[in-house]
Chain A
Amino acid sequence: MSILVIAEHDNKSLKGATLNTVAAAAKIGGEVHLLVAGSGCGDAAAQAAKVAGVGKVLQADAPHYDAQLAENIAALIVANAGGYSHILAPASTGGKNVMPRVAALLDVAQISDIISVESADTFVRPIYAGNALATVKSADAVKVITVRTTGFDPVAAEGGNAAIESLAAGPDLALSKLLGRELTKSERPELGAAGIIVSGGRGLGSSENYHKLLEPLADKLGAALGASRAAVDAGYVPNDYQVGQTGKIVAPQVYFAIGISGAIQHLAGMKDSKIIVAINKDPEAPIFQVADYGLVGDLFQLVPELTSAM
């Protein structure tokens, strides 16, 4: 039994989510191969070869893999799927985009967002915004899976020494093309990988307040910044800050929820955090039902106080 893991990378380096996905593959058992598809992705492939527990790296290098377009990447995966019992990718926006396409082309179900491996064909995944956990068993010959990274501790980035095999590129299907990207630039840790997250909601009132109050606190803690959907919709911060059912799923050591009410959809994205701290002026706010430490009061007074106390 061999397992193919689709690496997430930016050609230069491997994204952390790949390590959690390899961990899920290791739980299933069998030889793990990492596919690095990109353009000029030699550095990422070299990193992939060092990942602990990886038996082989498959590198597909071609200009038409640069933008990670779903049509081309899915076709490449399907063309190389032979011999694999499982194909895994992180449940990132990249994996969610490509993997259902792979599953449909192979005429198999996809098992989305697994948080645990029960056996080679049985997995646990959250449904209803994490209010229930379904244990599902697949009858398909190939299991196409996306992995929720918070469910699996990452394997070591170093220690392996896998061979890198180059893979023939498939044709450029030319169904779509990338016109441009607007990526959020930040010196802060990535939300998905941060040990501490400072997250703000509608209670902050404006983009200016969000930055003025939360940035100094995040700076002191070396934390990543997050937000509720209401804060994103109101334009306080870009969409990639959103934590929740339909945003990012995070599980840091500490999650500060500031001016966030604690809607089910928000809780779905952060309730597996080790420690939750809530600051809210409404003592009835549902966020206090999941918070380890709650502070009731005006955030405009409490947050600066907290920042200077750190």
Chain B
Amino acid sequence: MGSQARLEKHKESKNSHRSIALKILVPVKRVVDYNVKVRVKADGSGVDLANVKMSMNPFDEIAVEEAVRLKEAGVATEVVAVSCGVAQCQETLRTAMAIGADRGILVETDAELQPLAVAKLLKALCDKEQPTVVICGKQAIDDDANQTGQMLAALMGWPQATFASKVALADGKATVTREIDGGLETLEMNLPAVVTTDLRLNEPRYATLPNIMKAKKKPLETVKPADLSIDVAPRLATIKVSEPAKRSAGVIVADVAQLVEKLKNEAKVI
């Protein structure tokens, strides 16, 4: 057997392990890039998003990376990326596919989407797609809500493991290590389940040019909230958006002695 043939053989036997389909759904959100310092609009109606760089929410990138690694390890069979929002979210889905997601679904709407509405849209897609695991980012860095994964788990009646720093899937169970206020905890849960990612779960790869090209040819389906019969009307009205109190820079002290003197006599905090 030539080496190529052996490789093929190896691939086959690896594939045959995967007789049980294990689909992972990964929701990805298009947000202001994390390097951008946003400005509040003068009229208090929101933040200025004109001509601002948009990217995939960093926690969602970690989620895509984790799902793709599980597929590469032969644990998962398919990775489906989902985004809810404006037409440009297609770019976010292409990024997910460049990392390695197999296909994308866009739930397209120009309406403002709040976490409960997104969770309901994702539930409708889960009912249809029947994934074994949904891996979400723990929070989006725009609204900082930290809700969608937990809400989806609740609506599905599934277990959840939020703030994951380690995920293992085996024998119909997920074992997940979570970052909590006091340290770490490890949970075991039935599948299907929802996992949300923390920063230390993995370091996402950079998409290579060939993979970016390949991603352009992967299937991307578009649906509307109405096709899924979901009412996405917001429950919270934003009355105004304002700038937080500015902290002004203080003084540069000459040396340690002056610092201690200031802390004692000026700030009176030590």
A interface with B by C-beta (< 8 Å): 69-71, 74, 92-94, 96-105, 107-113, 122, 126-140, 175-184, 192, 196, 221, 229, 232-233, 238-240, 245-246, 248, 253-254, 264-265, 271, 274-277, 283, 288-296, 302, 305-306, 309-310
Contacts and interface: CB of A to CB of B under 8 A. Distances in A.
Interface residues of B, number: 79
Interface string B142-186: 111111111111110011111101000000000100111111111
Question: Which 5 pairs of residues, A with B, have the shortest CB-CB distance?
Answer: A100-B150, A176-B189, A292-B250, A175-B159, A109-B235
Contact of B200 (A93, A131, A239): A239
A293 B181 contact: no
Given A126-B144, A233-B199, A293-B250, A139 B151 contact: no
A105 B147 CA distance: 13
B169 to A, nearest CB: 14
B238 interface: yes
| Most B Cβ at <10 Å: residue of A110, A138, A182 | A110
A74 B154 contact: yes
Nearest to A192: B181
Contact of B259 (A126, A130, A245, A293): A293
B116 A104 contact: yes
A181 B185 contact: yes
A305 B256 contact: yes
| Most B Cβ at <10 Å: residue of A98, A105, A131 | A131
11 contacts: A71-B153, A104-B155, A122-B239, A127-B144, A131-B244, A135-B241, A135-B242, A265-B34, A288-B249, A289-B249, A292-B267
A96 B40 CA distance: 26
Given A113-B144, A133-B244, A293 B256 contact: no
A288 B252 contact: yes
A130 B235 contact: no
Interface of B: 32, 34, 37-38, 40, 47, 114-116, 119, 138-139, 141-155, 158-163, 165, 175, 178-190, 193, 198-200, 234-244, 247, 249-253, 255-257, 259-260, 262-263, 267, 269-270
Given A71-B160, A111-B236, A293-B263, A239 B184 contact: yes
Given A128-B141, A132-B244, A135-B240, A184 B183 contact: yes
Contact of A176 (B159, B243, B256, B259): B159
A105 B154 contact: yes
B150 A97 contact: yes
| Most B Cβ at <10 Å: residue of A71, A93, A232, A283 | A93
Given A127-B144, A239-B200, A93 B180 contact: yes
B162 A104 contact: no
A289 B248 CA distance: 7
A100 B249 contact: no
Contact of A104 (B150, B183, B184, B255): B150
Contact of A248 (B116, B151, B160, B181): B181
Contacts of A221: 270
Contacts of B270: 196, 221, 254, 310
Contacts of A126: 144, 244
A137 B263 contact: no
Nearest to B251: A293
Contacts of B181: 92-94, 192, 240, 248
Contact of A177 (B148, B165, B189, B247): B189
Given A93-B179, A100-B150, A275-B263, A294 B253 contact: yes
Nearest to A101: B154
A198 to B, nearest CB: 12
B247 A290 contact: yes
Given A129-B144, A233-B200, A293-B259, A101 B250 contact: no
A70 B187 CA distance: 11
A184 B260 contact: no
Contacts of A107: 116
A310 B260 CA distance: 7
A132 B179 CA distance: 27
| Most A Cβ at <10 Å: residue of B238, B260, B263 | B263
Contacts of B141: 128-129, 245
